Amino acid sequence: MTINEASKRYKIPIKILQEYESWGLCGEVKKVMGSWHYDESDIERLSTIMTLHDIGFTNDEIEKYMRLLIKGASTDAKRIKMLEAKRYGTLDEIHFKQRQLDSLDYLRFEMKMQSNSNAKRRISK
């Protein structure tokens, strides 16, 4: 499968496929008549790359993770550590966003209470 076919079939931007190729992680990719050809193991690795990208890994982090993955099970602990670090960072972001929502809700509540209070004063006059 060529880069264009892989891009269309799996909806992976060409830029990501080109970066993947530049990392030299395409162990089974063969260059035939000037174009790359992907096999199923490449597609599996690309799926992992897209997942890592979707959960917020930078390109450098993805490359590091993928190089570890290719080395095999002996790197499991390092990869788990990377995933846990990303998880804790995401949890921190969620907690920060929750505090923002709480503050927004408090301000909205205060405004509604003040608006209700003003409306009651106008009615009683």
Per residue in 39-85, pLDDT (tens digit) is 788 888 888 988 998 999 998 999 899 999 989 999 999 999 999 99
Contacts 24+ apart (CB under 8 A), 101-110: none
Percent of the chain at pLDDT > 70 equals: 89
**Residue 28 above 70 pLDDT?**
no
In the chain, where the domains are located: 1-71, 87-125
Type of residue numbered 103:
S
Whether 13 has a pLDDT exceeding 90, the answer reads no
Give the integer Cα–Cα distance in Å for 97 and 101: 6
Please answer whether residues 46 and 10 qualify as being in contact, where contact means their C-beta atoms are separated by less than 8 angstroms.
Answer: yes
Please state, rounded to an integer, the average pLDDT across all residues of the chain: 86
The phi and psi torsions of 30 (rounded to 5 degrees) equal: -115, 140
96 versus 5: the higher-pLDDT residue is: 96
Domain 1-71: give its CATH architecture: Orthogonal Bundle (1.10)
Separation of alpha carbons 44 and 52, rounded Å: 13
Judged against a pLDDT cut of 90, whether residue 9 lies above it is answered with no
Which two three-digit tokens encode residue 72?
A: 């095999």
Query: Please, is 65 exposed, middle or buried when counting C-beta atoms within 10 Å of its C-beta (0-12, 13-18, 19+)?
Result: buried
Q: Phi and psi (nearest 5°) for 89? A: -65, -40
The Cα–Cα gap between 94 and 99 comes to 9
* pTM exceeding 0.95: no
CB 63 within 8 A of CB 23: yes
